[in-house]
Structure 1
């Protein structure tokens, strides 16, 4: 199934599944930080691959926490944030005032990715009755465009068009915000839609 072939019903179903997953992820982040973290309704876009490089200022350096999705619907989940946001989160959890992300800070970011992505996958697994498991998280420091394009390529999305399921998290007065992406491998969407009878 090509992404451009998805009909409105299928797109709405995928958006609702993403909404359930990101709602759980936002709750997990809120509990971890002991703050109310808000999220936007997930946007589900089929975009030309070339746009990924320029998305959100592709030259800007960002920090991405990547978790591979294993099981029935393989793909990647990526949580991307600015460096100062990542430092703010790390310092809030550790009670420190670090100016650079240390090895301990790196571990904290991995654990945040693990908790958020686990919450996202558990919600989707319950909704679809599919077996979905997270890999060990990895942290990447690079230009935003490079992090995004590598994530899409690793998910086997080599086509001219890619599927971008994105949610914005935010607690703006605490400088805690980020983008959450689910990037399914080809074939995963068909399994998800089939599991809910669409």
Structure 2
């Protein structure tokens, strides 16, 4: 199933799952940062691979955290930050003030990506009663287009469209703004929709 084939009811169901996932992620980030973290309502769009290259910038160098989805609905989750945002997160959590991402900073970003991705996976699992587990996250610094291409190929996904969930988490003067791409393996999206009673 292509994301373009989704009807309004199916898209609304995915938006509801995303809302709950973002709320869970905000709670988990609050615990990690020991302070209140608020969230914006996620903006969910079905975007073409070409649009990502032209509008978001396929050649833009970004930080990506890749988490493989294991279990009943295999696929990949890619969480993207701008480098400036990533460095702000690292500085907040570690006190490191640097222009480059160190090994410690890399670990921090993996943990953030793990928290956000797990929150979304848990919300899908709760809705569907499916078994969904995250892999150990891996962080990388590369062009957005290269990351997405690799993630699509690994997922065996040849659709030209992807679900882009844009969420901002707000804590004091720190804004964690990222794009969250869910790239399911063929058949996984249908299984999720069937499990919540929407075909």
Shared fold, TM over 0.5: yes
Offset at 1:53?
2.6
Counterparts of 2:28 and 2:181 in 1: how far apart (Å)?
A: 16
CA shift digits 1:84-136 (9 cap, x unpaired): 21111111111222332111111111111112211221121111100000001
Counterparts of 2:132 and 2:170 in 1: how far apart (Å)?
A: 29
Offset at 1:181?
2.1
Query: 2:31 maps to what in 1?
Result: 31
Unaligned runs of 5+ in 2: none
The verdict on how the C-alpha distance between 1:56 and 1:170 changes in structure 2, with shifts beyond 3 A counting, is farther
The verdict on how the C-alpha distance between 1:152 and 1:180 changes in structure 2, with shifts beyond 3 A counting, is same
The verdict on how the C-alpha distance between 1:3 and 1:32 changes in structure 2, with shifts beyond 3 A counting, is same
1:128 aligns with 2:128: yes
Contact 1:54–1:145 (8 Å) recurs in 2: no
Query: 2:100 maps to what in 1?
Result: 100
Counterparts of 2:148 and 2:195 in 1: how far apart (Å)?
A: 28
1:54 aligns with 2:54: yes
Q: What SS does structure 1 have at the residue aligned with 2:186?
A: coil
1:87 aligns with 2:60: no
The verdict on how the C-alpha distance between 1:69 and 1:106 changes in structure 2, with shifts beyond 3 A counting, is same
**With structure 2 as the length reference, what TM-score do the two structures score?**
0.88
1:109 aligns with 2:109: yes
Query: 2:167 maps to what in 1?
Result: 168
CA shift digits 1:47-93 (9 cap, x unpaired): 33322333412222110011011101111112111112111111111
Q: What SS does structure 2 have at the residue aligned with 1:56?
A: helix
**With structure 1 as the length reference, what TM-score do the two structures score?**
0.88
The verdict on how the C-alpha distance between 1:132 and 1:55 changes in structure 2, with shifts beyond 3 A counting, is farther
The verdict on how the C-alpha distance between 1:55 and 1:131 changes in structure 2, with shifts beyond 3 A counting, is farther
Q: What SS does structure 2 have at the residue aligned with 1:88?
A: helix
Contact 1:155–1:184 (8 Å) recurs in 2: yes
Offset at 1:167?
2.0
Q: CA RMSD in A?
A: 2.0
Offset at 1:162?
1.8
Counterparts of 1:185 and 1:19 in 2: how far apart (Å)?
A: 22
Contact 1:63–1:142 (8 Å) recurs in 2: yes
Query: 1:140 maps to what in 2?
Result: 140
Counterparts of 2:55 and 2:151 in 1: how far apart (Å)?
A: 13
**Aligned residues, how many?**
196
Unaligned runs of 5+ in 1: none
Q: Does 76-85 or 25-34 show the bigger shift?
A: 25-34
